[in-house]
Each structure stands twice: as C-alpha cells, then as structure tokens.
C-alpha cells in the first residue's frame, strides 16, 4: 500500500505547511518588490552617473547580486537575511533594467523634450 506524500486533509483543505509556504512566499514577494521600488532607481541613477565614485559601487553591486543565484534554503530560519538578499538581488536586477531604459532614449529625443520645455524629473 502506498502512503501519500502530501498528508492534506481533503475535508479542511490544503496541508498547513503549504499555506505557511504560500504566506511566506507572498511576504517575500512584497518585501523584494518594495526593496526594488526604493533601491532600484538609486542603483540605476548611480550607474548612469558621470561621477566615478557613484558609478563604480553601482557596477560592483550589480555584478555581485545580479550574478548570484537565489538558493532555496530553509527560509523561515533565515527570515531577515532572505529578505535582505532578495531586496539586494531585485534592486540590482531592476536597477540594471532601468539603467538600460534610461540609456535607450536617443540624444535627439532628449533634446527635443528640452526644447518643448519638458524637464527630466517630470
């Protein structure tokens, strides 16, 4: 006789560990994207800066965290560390995406916007 791998209660729903994993995943998603919203634009602006003192740390940050794989450790035991690493990873990844979007705007389009009186900040 085979024993089921998942011991879910068919009457009361899913296995409690599955629900806990779902909540933990949703929490880390919110933390990661919140960190990206805060730190991603900072990384992107540092990356396109003319100052070497701003550009080099951003290049190192992106190189370190964009190339680092996110491994599945025992997430509840690592809690805050996982949230920090996820924030660093998403800020590097989306910071580089924002940097490429900034640099994709042709010089003529930027000049035309200035002629029309549009500002870079909105």
pLDDT at 46: 93
In the chain, domain spans:
30-105
pTM of the model: 0.69
Taking the C-alpha atoms of residue 56 and residue 34, their distance in angstroms, rounded to an integer, is: 24
Tokens 């634009």 appear where?
41
Q: How many CB atoms lie within 10 A of CB 8?
A: 14
Q: DSSP secondary-structure letter at 40?
A: H
For residue range 13-23, list pLDDT tens digits in order. Answer: 556 677 777 88
Whether the pLDDT of residue 43 is over 90: the answer is: yes
């Amino acid at each position: 006789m085979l024993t089921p791998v998942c011991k879910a209660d068919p009457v009361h729903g899913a296995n409690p560990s599955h629900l806990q994993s779902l909540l933990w995943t949703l929490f880390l998603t919110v933390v990661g994207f919140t960190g990206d919203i805060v730190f991603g634009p900072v990384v992107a602006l540092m990356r396109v800066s003319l100052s070497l003192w701003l550009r080099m740390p951003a290049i190192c940050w992106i190189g370190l965290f964009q190339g680092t794989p996110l491994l599945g450790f025992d997430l509840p035991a690592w809690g805050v560390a996982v949230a920090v690493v996820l924030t660093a990873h998403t800020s590097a990844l989306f910071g580089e995406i924002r940097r490429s979007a900034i640099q994709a705007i042709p010089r003529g389009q930027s000049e035309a916007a200035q002629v029309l009186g549009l500002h870079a900040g909105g």
